Amino acid sequence: MTDTRQIDGVTDAAAARAAAARLAARHGVPALERARLTATLGARLRQCLAEGGTWRLTLGVRGADSGGGALHAVLEPSPDASSAGEGTRWETTVPLPAADRPGGTGDSDSDMVPGDDPAALSQALMSADADTALVLDRLAEQEALVAFHRDELHQTNQGVLALHAELDAAGRAQREAFAAERRARNEAENARRRLTFLADASAVLNTSLNHGEIVRRLPELLVPRYAAEVGIWLFDEEDDPHHPMTRPAATVRAARTGRPQYAADHPGGLRGVDDLPPSVLHPDRPLLCVPLLTHRAPLGVLTLSPPGERWDPDDAVMLIELTRRAGIAIDNARRFEHNRDIAETLQRALLTELPTTPGLSLAARYLPATHGMNIGGDWYDAFHRPDGSLITVIGDVTGHGLHAAVMMSQLRTALRAYAVDDGSPGLLLTRLHKFLHRLQPNLYATAVIARFHPDESTLTWAAAGHPPPVLRLPDGRVRTLDAKPGAMLGIPLEQEIADHTEQVAPGSTLTLYTDGLVERRAEGIDPGIERLSAALGSFGPAELDTDLEGAADRILKPLLSDSERDDDVCLLLCHLQG
């Protein structure tokens, strides 16, 4: 079916629009598509009427018999009109549903709307209004649906915004937690650094027993990490010309009050520290003045200037604690030095002067240990007996310190008392053994006693737990007198120490020594005895006759090449003149 219409005016245009709507309704075109078709066609018709001329609308259905098809509309200028418009041709196609409504297709005049029948035209327009109402209902439904979805979207957006706010708050909280963790980690690391420095510096200060070395090492520990400059004022060194006589007021106040002082143009805010105005002597930098306190009295004041503008409060607390420990270390070192000087003076006073004997030269050396109290139980002695013989002895009391030195003195005195009566070296050592065991059950000693007689060519000797004597013969050969010795003196054991004799000729040299001369921790005692024997054998025939003192020094030099000694050293040379 095809419907062709000539359109010259508004009535023809309205009839054509109504015809298109009825044709679309007849073939089951949905109301929405129908309304879209009529609205589009109406707008196009208004445009044509505005342009003027005669137009032709052709409406038709294609392929309706096959169960599908489409409604086709073409609006173009009419070719028969004398004054045809010059407008553009317009056409559209609307797909039809798969099955038409009852009534089918075919030619029917019911779709024809005459332009001169007002009733038919009105009815067509009313039908168009029904479609419009249906479209408006659908539009209202869609608007309600849009409003519903708009509300859902708004609620969703509110939820998303709330979620974003929560995530942002959680992010801020997490960042703050991370920042707090970093701060805590940094504070812990700084605290660990301070504690490590304090422990290491304290170990360095307490290792030395020389207060001068402690004073020297303290600035080396602090500069430049914790201080730009360090000044140490010891009260008992005020007369030293190398120390300044004018000092900052904060330093003097710290010495008087015994409290740390902080002198600067701004408050320090340091715990336990008094704030003072800047120093007149050093107005350009802050000063932290900490007294060197001990359990008895202050020793001095430590004055520090910061490495930057000011100190961290925790660093200042650490510096105050280090100064306290340094004061204790200096005090301990001074007390040790005082006791060491007393002990060394006592021991050297107890070491006897060697007697003069015709035909027999004596040379002795005593070297204290370089560690500890520098005082021990090593001793030597030589004295004449009433029968004209010479007793030489060298011994070592176990332990160090004043107690060992006092016991050495008692053994020396006891030996001289026992030697007044006639007795061999073995008998003398046996008596000393009983004496020491009864006097000091927990103290032990070793010793070697040798007896020379001017009318005899024999040497009588005995040893108790001591390194063996070394004998140099006149021809330069060296022997170790390693006959079986007795046990240590003072052990809980009954013993009778035996005597040993050796034939000696003029030019022979007997060497008595303590283990500090030959013993080394890494190698034992035998290699040291071998070195001693080699040193004795290196002398010429006349060197020992002419310069026994020099020979003693030359023996010590190769055996004590190390400047550090853990034990005392005693050496006694007995040389028969050639």
Residue 231 token pair: 């000044």
Give the pLDDT score at 350.
65
Give the pLDDT score at 239.
53
Q: Would the CA dihedral through 82, 83, 87, 92 be positive or negative?
A: negative
Give the pLDDT score at 104.
41
Identity of the residue numbered 366:
Y
Give the pLDDT score at 179.
92
Using N-to-C axis directions, what is the helix angle for 10-26 and 31-51, rounded to 10°?
Answer: 160
Give the pLDDT score at 84.
47
- pLDDT tens digit at each of 578 positions of the chain: 688 888 888 888 888 888 888 888 888 888 888 888 888 988 998 988 888 888 999 998 887 666 668 889 999 998 765 544 456 889 999 988 875 444 444 444 445 555 556 766 666 666 667 777 777 888 888 888 999 998 999 999 998 999 999 999 999 999 999 999 999 999 899 899 999 999 999 998 888 888 889 999 999 999 988 899 999 999 887 655 455 568 899 999 999 999 999 999 888 888 889 999 988 888 888 999 999 988 777 899 999 999 888 888 889 999 999 999 999 999 988 888 887 777 667 666 666 788 988 889 999 998 877 655 556 678 899 999 988 899 999 999 887 666 777 788 888 889 999 998 878 999 999 999 999 988 888 889 999 999 998 778 899 999 999 999 999 999 999 999 999 899 999 999 899 999 999 999 999 999 999 998 998 877 788 999 999 999 999 998 788 988 999 999 999 988 886 655 667 889 999 999 87
Going from N- to C-terminal start, the domains of the chain cover: 2-145, 207-345, 351-576
Q: What are phi and psi of 146, to 5 degrees?
A: -65, -40
Give the pLDDT score at 110.
47
Domain 207-345 belongs to what topology? Beta-Lactamase (3.30.450)
Give the pLDDT score at 69.
84
Residues 6+ away with beta carbon under 8 Å from 169: none
Give the pLDDT score at 289.
93
**Which element (helix H / strand E) includes 303?**
strand 300-305
Give the pLDDT score at 457.
86
Q: What are phi and psi of 471, to 5 degrees?
A: -115, 125
Give the pLDDT score at 432.
94
User: Coil, strand, or helix at residue 4?
Assistant: strand
Give the pLDDT score at 273.
92
Residues 6+ away with beta carbon under 8 Å from 20: 37, 38, 41, 57, 59, 73
Residue 530 token pair: 């071998």
Distance CA 229, CA 522 (A): 44
- For the whole model, what pTM was predicted? 0.53
CATH 3.60.40.10 holds for 351-576: yes
